[in-house]
Structure 1
Amino acid sequence: MATPTIVLVHGAFADASSWSPVTERLLGQGHQVVAPPVFNRSLSADAAHIRSLVEQIDGPVLLAGHSYGGAVITVAGVADNVAGLIYVSGYALEEGESLGQLQGGFPDSDLAANLVYAPYPVENGEPSTDVSVGIDAFPEVFAAGLDPAKAKVLAVSQRPLSAIAFNEPASAAAWKTKPGWGIVPSADRTINPDVERFGYQRAGLRAVVEIDGPHLVMQTHPDEVAAVITGAIAESA
């Protein structure tokens, strides 16, 4: 099998630059990498967008999803040319399950008490609601472990997630037919690490790596995250 293109899917409250340290390492090793935007409007729309992008890539693809991006790759990963899934601090949803349902089975993380809600206009419809992380709480809750000055920049440039996405059920669970790998940052304050562990175990991932790091583990431990990705490439070849 040809070497897969690695598609890095970002999560809520972030953008593709959240993967930058890992992207830099993978490119430096000669891998083909794509780090697309996720619009964070709804699970179905975001997954359809990523699937469309994947299906336009010539050859196999390895999908890596961070946080909400894990839910996105769970649905988008059913594309025929997806060779595997890598969850990083991610949601491995069951078919018919929503983010809210999966999280509801576990104690809240620090994120729950620090969310901010704001309306946004919808063409020809009632306004919907954007969800973001409180600016003051963002550095500790979402960007723990990063340089404080950088965390402040990320806090004011975060990409909100539509509230619609929290309650929308996954239309597919690609891990049922595709091999998967997972990373759990044990110091995650955005998602309860037990939510990640449960989802990974249920999905029967081939390997799960625990890293003593925060939610943005791609920023704080890029070498370890890149190693999981390249290991998945080798194993799926």
Structure 2
Amino acid sequence: MAQVSTILLAHGAWANASAWAKVLPLLQEAGASAIAVSLPLISLEADVAALTRAISLADGPVLLVGHSYGGAVITQGGNDAKVAGLVYINGFGPDAGESAGTLGAGGPPTSLPENLQPDAHGFLKLTRRGVEVSFAQDLTPAEQALIFATQGPVSGPFALGGEIETPAWKTKPSWYLRGTDDHAIHPELQTMMAKRMDATTVDVASSHVPMLSHPRVVADLILKAAG
């Protein structure tokens, strides 16, 4: 893979672009051009469109990085000709016809579903307990409180339920950071996804948010993938 010019980072559900606040400085210190993309989390189509707009403005080649549900977004958006590779951080990598939601429901159970609060429109929010035990159990109480207060609710039917048409990982080189203490996406499910995409895989003893608990490990993998 040619050395990339721009790294675009896509956050997951119950998050926003600030999820990459600890990783961005490390990438920039290494001389990389890195941009965190804000996703609306209202549908997979809308989130892929937001990523595609960022790709169109970026100097290529582009490396896409997706955390959690953001992995599904880069799986579809990564088919853009400017994209040279994909990096999944505890991320969903659906195949054609799959969604983040169906993958999660079909994998080994985790504590996440019981700690989600739906509203009348199908948007899901993490409870405070969900942040503490299912999402970010290795962060400080202050960091957990910030995640809870700033989370982006996600559409269950249209974002998590959005099906992939063409998975970019079938034609683009991929890397995968697997969180072995993840209580949101089971590590065994992560193993399956990384294996079928033939991804270069690195393990870290982390919760669902290694970009916050182990930012150096995350940044090192991204820089390796960037060439």
Both proteins in one fold, TM over 0.5 = yes
Does 2:135 correspond to 1:142? Answer: yes
Hey, what's the Cα distance between the residues in 1 that align with 2:115 and 2:222?
31
Aligned to 2:41: 40
Give ranges in structure 1 of 5+ residues lacking alignment: 120-127
Match 1:183 to one of 177, 183, 186: 177
Give ranges in structure 2 of 5+ residues lacking alignment: none
Q: In the TM superposition, what are the counterparts of 1:155-234 in structure 2 within 5 Å?
A: 155-163=148-156, 164-205=158-199, 207-234=200-227
Hey, what's the Cα distance between the residues in 1 that align with 2:70 and 2:203?
19
Hey, what's the Cα distance between the residues in 2 that align with 1:137 and 1:166?
17
Q: Write out per-residue CA displacement over residues 43-102 of structure 1, whole angstroms, 9 at most, x where no aligned residue.
A: 122112201210221221000000000000000000000010000000011011112221
Aligned to 1:27: 28
Most deviating of 188-197 and 66-75: 188-197
Verify the 8 A CA contact 2:115 2:129 in the aligned structure 1: no
Q: Write out per-residue CA displacement over residues 124-169 of structure 1, whole angstroms, 9 at most, x where no aligned residue.
A: xxxx321011123312221111111121121122101111222221
Query: How far has the Cα of 1:114 moved from its partner?
Result: 0.6
Aligned to 2:61: 60
TM-score (norm 2): 0.95
- Over aligned residues, Cα RMSD in angstroms? 1.2
Hey, what's the Cα distance between the residues in 2 that align with 1:200 and 1:5?
23
Most deviating of 102-111 and 81-90: 102-111
Matched AA of 2:94: L
Aligned to 1:70: 71
Hey, what's the Cα distance between the residues in 2 that align with 1:8 and 1:73?
9
Most deviating of 104-113 and 63-72: 104-113
Q: How many residues are aligned here? A: 225
- Mark the structure with the bigger radius of gyration: 1
Verify the 8 A CA contact 1:11 1:66 in the aligned structure 2: yes
SS state at 1:190 partner:
coil
User: Which segments of structure 1 move beyond 3 Å, counting only runs of 4 or more?
Assistant: none
Verify the 8 A CA contact 1:55 1:79 in the aligned structure 2: no
SS state at 1:214 partner:
coil
Hey, what's the Cα distance between the residues in 2 that align with 1:224 and 1:208?
12
TM-score (norm 1): 0.91
Most deviating of 194-203 and 6-15: 194-203
Instruction: Percent identity, please.
Output: 36
Hey, what's the Cα distance between the residues in 2 that align with 1:178 and 1:200?
13
SS state at 1:136 partner:
helix
